[in-house]
Amino acid sequence: MKKLTINNYAINNNVFNYKVRSTQSCSLLIGKLLIIVWVLSFGFPVFAETRNPAVAGSFYPADKTELSSQINAFLQNVPPSKTKGDIVALIAPHAGYPFSGQVAAYAYKELEARSFDRVIIIGASHHMSYDGMALPDYDSFLTPLGKVPVDKNFINQLKKFSPKFIADNKPHIEEHSIEVHLPFLQTILKDFKIVPILFGNISVANCQALAYALSLLVDDRTLIVLSSDWSHYYPYDTANKLDNRGTDLVVKGDLIGFIKGLEQGECEACGAPAIITAMMAAPALGVNKIELLKYANSGDVTGDKSKVVGYAAIVFSRLESVLSDADKDQLLKIARKTIEALLSGNKTPVFKIEQEALLEKRGAFVTLTEEGRLRGCIGYIQPIQPLAQAVQEMAAAAATKDSRFEPVAKSELKNIKMEISVLSRLKKIKDIQEIEIGRDGLYIIRGDRSGLLLPQVAAEWGWDRDQFLKQVCIKAGLPEDAWKTSDLYRFSAQVFHE
C-alpha cells in the first residue's frame, strides 16, 4: 500500500487517495468554469490597490490616537480662520510634524467649517528625477487615520491634456511630500477624494501644462494644496532673508519675479513647480488675494539656528466684494481724471486708495460712449491687477487704444460718458441652460480666437440665449455655431456709469 502525504497528514488508503484527487480535480474545474463565466459576464475582476504609508512613524506618529492628538493640539494653537470668500489653494510645508506641523496647522485651520469634494495635492519628487508629472494608479492612499480614495476620473481627464502627465506609481511609493498632508486633511475635511501629482523636475513648460489643465477642470468644490518647504540648511538670518523674499513675491502674485528669484538664488522652495503652477492658474481660478498666514523655520522650534529649514502657510482666496456707492464714485473719478490727464499731456494722476474693495484684484472693463454711441471699450478679463489700477489702465486704453475707433480727442471729452463693469470670475459653462440673459456675460475661446460680450449687451439688444451665443461667436471671428465645440464661460458684472 502506497503512502501519500497531503497537507502534512499521512494517508494509507489508495481508495481515499483516489477520491481526494478526484474531488480536487472536480473543484478546480468548477472554479475555472466560474471564473470564465464571471469574466464573460462582467469582465476581468479589478482589485483595489492601496498606497501604504511610507513615513508614518518617522515624519508623523504611526499610532492613530497619538497622531490625532498631535494634529488637534497643533490646530488648537491657531486662531480661528480669518479668510473671507472662497479658498482656492493653500501652501503648506511637508517636513516632519515636530518641525513643521505647527506651521501647517495655520494653513489647515482655514478649512474649518468648509467642505470640498476633491483635494489636488501637488508636490515635487524627492527620490526620482523625470520630465513630467506622475499621476498614481492607486485606488486609495492609506494613513493611520484610514484610507483616502483617489479621484481616478479626474486623473483620467488630466491625462488627456498633455503627454507630460505620466501614469506611474513608482515616484509615489517612498515620497513624503503628498503623504504628510493627508492626516491634516482627514482631520479637517470629510468625504473627499485626492488627486496626487508629483513633478519630476522644475520645468516652466510643465507648470504651464498643469496650470492650463487646472484652469479648465477645477471647480468650486476643489481645493489645491501646494506642498513646499522653503530654504534649506542656511543660518537662521540668511534663511529668513531668503524666505521673506520668496513669500513676499508669492503674496504679491509676482510670477515673473518669483521665477527670476529662484533662478538668481534670491529665494528657494523645494515645491517651486507647485507654487509656480498655482500662480499661473490663479487668475483663471478667480484668485484675487494671497496672504501669508504664518512663517517659521526649524530654528524657531529646536533652538538650533546654525542650519535651518523654512516653512510657510499661505492661502490663495477668491473674494468678490459688492462695491458701495462710494467705491463706484471713486472708480468713475479715477477713470475720468486719468483720461483728462492723458489727453492734456499731463502725468498719470496718483490716487490714494484705502478702500479694501478697490485693492482686490478684479477683472474690469471701461466703456466710453458719445451721445449714446460706443466710442471705446477695453478691459481685463482676469483679476490680474488691483481694481483701482485696472480701471485706471483700462480707461486710458479705452480712450486711445481701441483699434475700432480713432483715439478720443480732448475736445470730445465733455461729451464722453463712462461706464465701468467690474467682473466676477469666469465660470465654465457645462450646459447652456445655465446662461441667464441680463445676469451673465459670455466669453468664448477656441484656438487663438476669443471673444467677450458683457452682460448688459444682450439686454440692450434684446437678444435671447441663442442670439447671444451666435453674437459672441461672431465677436470672436468664429462660425455662429462655434460655441458647440469651443470653451465657453459665463460671468456676471457690477455695472455703473456717470
pLDDT at 1 over 50: no
Segment among 8-22, 267-281, 293-307 with least mean pLDDT: 8-22
pLDDT at 191 over 50: yes
Name the band, by pLDDT with cuts 50, 70 and 90, for residue 319. confident
Q: Express the helix, strand and coil content of the chain in percent, nearest 5 each.
A: 40, 25, 35
Rounded CA separation 366/379 (Å): 6
Provide the pLDDT for residue 33: 56
* Helix or strand run (H / E) with residue 429: none
pLDDT at 21 over 90: no
Rounded CA separation 263/272 (Å): 11
Name the band, by pLDDT with cuts 50, 70 and 90, for residue 315. very high
Residue for grid cell 484705502: 354
Rounded CA separation 362/382 (Å): 7
pLDDT at 468 over 60: yes
Question: pLDDT per residue over 402-427, tens digit each?
Answer: 999 999 999 999 999 999 999 998 88
CA-to-CA separations, 441 to 129, 268, 318, 448, 472, in angstroms, rounded: 45, 41, 19, 20, 9
pLDDT at 377 over 50: yes
pLDDT at 20 over 90: no
In CATH terms, 50-318 corresponds, of 3.30.70.60, 3.40.830.10, 3.40.50.300, 3.40.605.10, to 3.40.830.10
Q: What is the mean pLDDT of the chain?
A: 91
202 touches 273 (CB < 8 A): yes
Instruction: Enter the C-alpha cell of residue 194.
Output: 485626492
pLDDT at 257 over 60: yes
User: How large is the average pLDDT for residues 110-136?
Assistant: 97
SS3 93: coil
Residues 6+ apart with CB under 8 A from 451: 443, 444, 472, 473, 474, 475, 476, 477, 478
Question: pLDDT per residue over 142-181, tens digit each?
Answer: 999 999 999 999 999 999 999 999 999 999 999 999 999 9
What topology does CATH give the domain 325-497?
Answer: Glycoprotein, Type 4 Pilin (3.30.700)
pLDDT at 353 over 80: yes
Question: pLDDT per residue over 194-221, tens digit each?
Answer: 999 999 999 999 999 999 999 989 999 9
